[in-house]
Structures are given as C-alpha cells and as structure tokens.
Amino acid sequence: MKHLLTASLLCFACLQGFAEDGSRLWLRADATAKAVVTANKKSTTISIAVEELQTQWRGAAVSLKIKNIKADKEEFSITGDERGITITSPSEKGLLYGAYHLLRLQATNGLKYPLNIQESPKYNLRILNHWDNLDGTVERGYAGRSIWRWDELPAVVSPRYKEYARANASIGINATVLNNVNASPQILQSDMLAKAKVVADVLRPYGIQVFLSVNFSSPTVLGGLPTSDPLDAAVQRWWKDKANEIYKLIPDFGGFLVKANSEGQPGPQDFGRTHAEGANMLADALKPHKGIVMWRAFVYSPSNDDRAKQAYMEFMPLDGLFRDNVVIQVKNGPIDFQPREPFSPLFGAMHKTDVMAEVQITQEYLGHANHLAFLAPMWKEFLDSDTYGNGSGSPVANTITAMAGVANIGDETNWNGHHFAQANWYAFGRLAWNPQLSADAIADEWLRQTFSQKDAFVEPVKAMMLQSWDAVVNYMMPLGLHHIFAVGHHYGPEPWGVIPGGRPDWQPWYFHNADAAGVGFNRTKTGSDAINQYHSPLKERLYDIETCPEELLLWFHHADWNHKMHSGRSLWAELCYKYDLGVQQAREFQKVWDRQEGALDTERFHAVQSRLKIQSRDAVWWRDACLLYFQEFAKQPIPYDIERPVHDLSDLKQIKLKISNHENAKR
C-alpha cells in the first residue's frame, strides 16, 4: 500500500513536470483550478492576474476592477465572500498584487470571510540590486552564476526571466538593478542596452521596472571624452544623449544606481566635485524622462580615524543640495552588512534629502549559502530602531522613502543555494511592502507556501528560523564585535588576520582592538566619538557603558575584560557563554530538522540537513577560533561549565579557504 501511495505521488510529480528541487520557490500551488475570473479592462498585466487566479484559485468567482485609474498607484482592496470576490485597484499592477495576495491567503490558510482587505505599499520603490557582472559572475553571490545571460541576449530569452518576474511580483518587488554597483562602463554600450531592453520587456508585464548601475567614468571610457567631470558641458551632453538612447529602447526605464568614490570606483571627487554635483548631473539627464538616481553613501577613507563615521561626515553637509530625483541609498549599518550593526546615523539625519535603505539579502557575512540565517528579525530590528530624528517615535522605517535589497539570486536550480535562503528574498519583498509585518508572520507565510501547512512542521521550524540570526551572531560576533572575518571571502573567522600592506580599516584588529585591558571599538568621546552622530537621547544612552545595549557593547565601547554584564558575569565569561550558546543553537537546529524527516520531500530534507551539519561544524570553528584568540589577551580560563575547545589555535590559523567566487580580495 505504502509503495502504491509513493508511486502515485511520484507520478503526480511527473505529471506536474517538476522535481522537489526548490525551483518553484514559494509558488507551489498546483495549477489545476478552473476559477471563473472576469476583468473590466484588458492588458498583458491583467491577463497575468486573470490566469494566475483561473488556474490556482479554488473559491468563488473573482472580478477584477480598475477604478479611478492611476497607473502608479499600487494599492488594492479585496472584498466579498463565498458568493463572489472583487479585487479593486486604480492600476493594473495593483490588480496583479491583489491576485497574488488572495492566492497567498489561500495557500496559508488565511482566508476569513467576509473579506475586507485594503493594502497599500509603504514604499513606492521596492528594488533588488544584483551585484552581477557582465561576464556572468556574481560578486558575493553564492547560488551559481548570474541569471542574466548577456552572451545569449538579445536573441535567446531564458525562461527564467519570466519566472523571476513572477516571483518578485508575487511579493510586491517592483524594480531591479540588473548589474553590479562595481559597474562596468560597458553596460551602457548600445549592444548591451539592446539586451537590457529585452529583459525589461519580459519584466514589464509583472510590474517590474529596470534600472542600471553606471560607472562614473563612462563618458571617458565609452565616449572617448578627455574628462568625466560632472561640470563639463560635453560630459553633461554625453549623459543626456545616453539617457535619451536608453529611454528610446526602454520607455519606463527607472534610472541609475551609482557607487562613486568608494573602494576604488571613480566619482565626482576625482575632479574636485562633490557627491551632490555628481548625482545632480545624472539626475538632470534623467529628469525629462522621470528617471531617478540612487546615489550610494557607502564611502570610507583609509585616513579617517573611524570608518563608521565617514558616510555621515561626507553626506550631512550636502543635505538639501541634491535634486529632487536623487535618493541617497544607505546601508542599514554604518560599516558593511555585519552580522549585527546599529542603524547608520544617516537615517533620521538628512531632513532635506530622500534617503533609502539598502539591506543585503545575499549572506556575504552570514555564512553564505551554507548557514541558515533568516534575516527578517535583523531587518525588523533595523526598521523599528528609533532614530529620534523628529523627536521620539521616528523609527528608521518612517525616515526612508524606498528599500533596496542586494539579491541572493543565481542560476542554481533552487535560485538561492540554501533552500532557506529563499525565505530572505521573500521576507525582503514582504517587508518592503509592509515594514510592520512581524518576522513571525513572514516566516509562517513562507513555510506554509514553501513546505507544508501542517502545524506540527510549521511551528518548530518557524521557531528555528526565528532564532537563526541570533545563533549566527552568537557564534560569529556577539556583543557588538564586528568584521573579524577571514580576509577576502568573509566566511570564516580570522580575528588575527593581517593583510600585508593593506588599509588599516581592512584589518580585523582595527575593529576588535583586543589588548590586555579589554576588547571593542571605543566610539565614545575618548575614542572616535562616532556616537555623537546619533540624536539625543539615544547618544547619551550609547555613551554610557551601563546603558548601552549589551548586544552592541563592543561596537561602541572598549570594555574591560572584567566589566560586569547584566547577567552578573564578567565580559570575558559572557563572551564565552555567547559563543558557546551559538554552537548549542546550531546543534539544536539539526535536531529540529531531523525530526521533520518524512514531513517533507526527501530532496529538500536532505539538502537542508547536510547544510545544517556544515553550519554546526562552522559554529564550533568560529567559537574555538575567537575564544582561543581572545583568551590570549584576556588571560582567563574559559568557564568550566561550558564545552572545551576541540581545536588548537595554531591549527585554525593555518586554514586558508579557497572560495573561487570571491574575486574581491578586500575586506
């Protein structure tokens, strides 16, 4: 009997034409429904909404209505009951989002009649940033090569583009930057633009606008001009002509993303001009077409006493000098997507300039595609942080106008490498639509759509997901430690690492400052005074070692090894407990997962199981490396009630990982 059942299930899978390989992401409902769906307007986008509902919706007839038409209004309402349902929106896109919302409710057991749903996105721009190079490699990508096949385009259009568009639309993502911020000037060559046009044509019906990263030196490299000075008339003309050329091909082109004067990229400062002068020149070229410039604030200089201060120092004096179609794109924290960072002080600070947040979906600093780290709790902590920018009650979420996420997408079958990394793509879309959603609700939705509706599966696995970011922080960099990664690949520990001749702010010691007295970066008045960039009363809280949140203690303070923590332990003992807790958490995840055997398909079960093993092993590696190294300064025993290290520091120092997909040897 059991065999018969298995055979028929297998057969069902064959009929559906899919393997349980994760390729269908969270969009797994079978397409065998025959719903009655009508619409009061025809268009390609509305046809997609109609077809999605026709083939997947198993309830009463649905009617799609455009009302008070306004193409850029993405809100929708869903009303009705078992006798009939109406989705109403001012735009085609809104109807599509409404259709996906209804299907999500069906797939997550969330339908409660009568329906009276009103949804409207918090931000108008919810954009992925691909760090994809034109040669098919992906900077900080851990899921294979780029999905954009520039060598085949424009003739060959991969079916993945449409699947990608559908997945994004289903979670409300409405824009994408196709290429790396370390931008090749070649992206603006006419032949490349013809390729980008084809991609844009596939994405458009799903409501997704295309943007490109541009290299500030393009007028010189591509146009042969003697300079790329933004105040030079010929340079300005070049950009205007280029914008005109792009818009002829892609009439709804979104605009440019720019990394300038950062990590060796060219920029206006090369010509003695400011970020504002550079951004405004591009903004003027895009303005007639309604395009925007997303100008990144990720800048730091080797001469600054504290890398964490630089962005604020460079950008605050420019507040109010940017054109209204420029938005400053700021990473969530002041350093660089560390496992845990305080929010960047630029949030809530620039009152006359639009600021958008950049978070990293790809897990550059969180175990790549090997570790399970559900990032919604991290992003929630960030979005909910009170900046005090307009008195109290100014969370980051209310200070920004848009959200960007550095994509974790590649050409691997399951898109993201780790099956659970799909949850981070999903969570980014959902939070960019509604930052008030809880991490719990997002994990719940995702699990029910992706794996199973059964509570016996969902509840323990959700609890694991919700703890996973905390676990990674614990075994990598607890209590505010940061950037003690191995040189280059940012995967394993190397608090002792030295880049010969490298910039000080690329060396781990610069960040942890361990010595006989204590550990941590002194950002108080006796140190770099980076704390002063925050608003009161937050800064007073951070200055005081007793009121500084302990999870960020070593971010802001160089604390004595014997500093008394809230637990009553010394800092040294607390550090040991945190590292060990991370290891125990990772091991617990293995147990939670192993208990699910049989509750899901064997392919995904085994794939996740094997990565959880790696994660546990890596957690031990991190704990041993960091504790044995810091012990050399603290000169105290590891508390006897926790596990003893199983490695020797000298052996750990010999580990040199070769991770080929990391051509970037900087920190």
Amino acid identity at 91: S
User: Which is catalytic among the residues 229, 364, 444, 580?
Assistant: 364
Q: Which is nearer to ligand GCV, 215 or 467 (CB)?
A: 215
Peptide bond into 154 cis (omega under 30): yes
User: What's the min distance (Å) between Cβ of 275 and ligand GCV?
Assistant: 15
Nearest distance in Å: CB 134, ligand GCV = 14
Q: Which residues pair with 77 in a beta bridge?
A: 88, 118
**1 CB-contact burial (10 Å; exposed 0-12 / middle 13-18 / buried 19+):** exposed
Find all residues with CB under 8 Å of 5, minimum gap 6, and list them: none
Q: Name which of 139 and 354 has its Cβ closer to ligand GCV.
A: 139
Among 594, 566, 589, residue whose Cα is nearest residue 578: 566
Q: Is 364 a catalytic residue?
A: yes
CB 98 within 8 A of CB 89: yes
> Whole-number minimum distance, CB 186 to ligand GCV, in Å?
17
CB of 662 to ligand GCV, least distance (A): 8
CA 30, 204, 212 angle in degrees (round to 5)? Answer: 120
Choosing from 132, 336, 494, 580, the catalytic residue is 336
Q: How far is CA 10 from the centre of its chain?
A: 36
* Minimal distance, residue 106 CB to ligand GCV, in Å: 39
Residue 317 is encoded by which pair of tokens? Answer: 């004096």
> 539 vs 662, which CB is nearer to ligand GCV?
662
Known catalytic residue at 277: no
Give dist(CA 503, CA 303) in Å, integer.
Answer: 9
**Nearest approach, Cβ of residue 374 and ligand GCV (Å):** 22
Q: Which residue, 106 or 408, is less far from ligand GCV as judged by CB?
A: 408
* Residue ranges that bind ligand GCV, judged by CB under 6 A: 131, 139-140, 181-182, 259, 263, 298, 336, 664
Minimum CB–partner distance for residue 213 and ligand GCV (Å): 9
Look at residue 39 and give its three-state secondary structure: strand
Of 197 and 662, nearer to ligand GCV (C-beta) is 662
Q: How far is the CB of 664 from ligand GCV (least distance, A)?
A: 5
Distance set, CA 635 to CA 522, 565, 580, 624, 630 (Å): 21, 18, 18, 15, 8
Residue closer to ligand GCV by CB (options 263, 459) is: 263
- How many other C-beta atoms can be found within 10 angstroms of the C-beta atom of residue 479? 24
Find the shortest distance in angstroms from Cβ 265 to ligand GCV: 8
The residues that bridge with 81 in the sheet, in sequence order, are 84
Question: How far apart are CB 259 and ligand GCV at their closest, in Å?
Answer: 5
CA trace torsion 357, 412, 152, 266 (10° rounding): 30
For residue 435, say if its preceding peptide bond is cis, omega within 30 degrees of 0.
no
- Residue from 30, 152, 241, 263 carrying the catalytic annotation: 263
**Which CB, 115 or 297, lies closer to ligand GCV?**
297
Q: What values do phi and psi take at 392, rounded to 5?
A: -75, 160
Alpha helices in 63-130, H assignment, sequence order: 92-107
Q: What span, in angstroms and rounded, lies between the C-alpha atoms of 273 and 488?
A: 31
If phi over 0 gives left and psi between -120 and 50 gives alpha, with beta otherwise, what is residue 16?
Answer: alpha
336 is catalytic: yes
Nearer to ligand GCV, 258 or 473 (CB): 258
Q: Which is nearer to ligand GCV, 24 or 259 (CB)?
A: 259
Separation CA 339–CA 253 (nearest Å): 34
Q: Which is nearer to ligand GCV, 90 or 333 (CB)?
A: 333
Whole-angstrom CA distances from 667 to 188, 493, 497, 542 are: 29, 13, 11, 27
Q: Which whole-number Å values give the CA distances from 652 to 106, 327, 568, 622, 626, in the listed order?
A: 50, 44, 31, 10, 10
Shortest separation between residue 147's beta carbon and ligand GCV, angstroms: 17
Q: Which is nearer to ligand GCV, 205 or 342 (CB)?
A: 342
The runs of H, that is alpha helices, within 451-570 are 455-476, 508-512, 538-543, 553-556
Taking the C-alpha atoms of 248, 249, 255 and 259 in order, what is their torsion angle to the nearest 10 degrees?
Answer: -120
Least separation in angstroms between residue 12's CB and ligand GCV is 43
- Please classify residue 394 by burial: count the beta carbons closer than 10 Å to its beta carbon, then call 0-12 exposed, 13-18 middle and 19+ buried: middle
Question: Of 254, 116, 264, which is closest to residue 181 (Cα–Cα)?
Answer: 264
Please choose, from the candidates 615, 616, 639, 617, the residue with its C-alpha nearest in 3D space to the C-alpha of residue 627: 639
Residues 6+ apart with CB under 8 A from 204: 252
Residue type for 102, please?
L
Q: For ligand GCV, give the closer residue by CB, 269 or 609.
A: 269
Residue 558 near residue 522, CB atoms below 8 Å:
yes
Which residues carry out catalysis? 263, 336, 364
